[in-house]
């Protein structure tokens, strides 16, 4: 069973729309929740959320962590075609275990 589950798997929106991407995770030894954007090759780091930092914002992108319900959302407002990418979330755990990635949400923004 997947430990990190992202939804939806894919999404098509028009420029200017606001989108919300979801990521649910497991609580065992939770340490961090990370978001990455992958356009062609290398995933690029967006945000890291922890118990001490549950909300992050950068320009049109923002993310929150709900520690009670065990999920995170990534919000993108006023979407642009350049936002088209696969968005990955990953959970970091304490206890010498590697990051666990979800399968990603493919976002397509059309003009």
Partner 1 sequence: KAGVTQTPRYLIKTRGQQVTLSCSPISGHRSVSWYQQTPGQGLQFLFEYFSETQRNKGNFPGRFSGRQFSNSRSEMNVSTLELGDSALYLCASSSIPELDTQYFGPGTRLTVL
Q: Which residues bind partner 1 (CB under 8 A)?
A: 31-32, 34, 36, 41-45, 48, 88, 90, 92, 96-104
**Which CB, 82 or 98, lies closer to partner 1?**
98
Nearest to 36 by CA among 110, 109, 105: 105
In the complex, what is the shortest distance from the CB of residue 111 to partner 1, in angstroms, rounded to a whole number? 26
| Spatial distance between the Cα atoms of 81 and 84, rounded to a whole number of angstroms | 6
**Which CB, 21 or 90, lies closer to partner 1?**
90
């Amino acid at each position: 069973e997947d430990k990190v589950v992202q939804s939806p798997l894919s999404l098509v929106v028009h420029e200017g729309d606001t989108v919300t991407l979801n990521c649910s995770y497991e609580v065992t030894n939770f340490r961090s929740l990370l978001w990455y954007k992958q356009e062609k090759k290398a995933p690029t780091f967006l945000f890291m959320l922890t118990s001490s930092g549950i909300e992050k914002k950068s320009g049109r992108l923002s993310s929150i962590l709900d520690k009670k319900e065990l999920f995170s959302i990534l919000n993108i407002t006023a979407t642009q075609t350049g936002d088209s990418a696969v968005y990955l979330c990953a959970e970091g755990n304490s206890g010498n275990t590697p990051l666990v990635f979800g399968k990603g949400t493919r976002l397509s923004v059309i003009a």
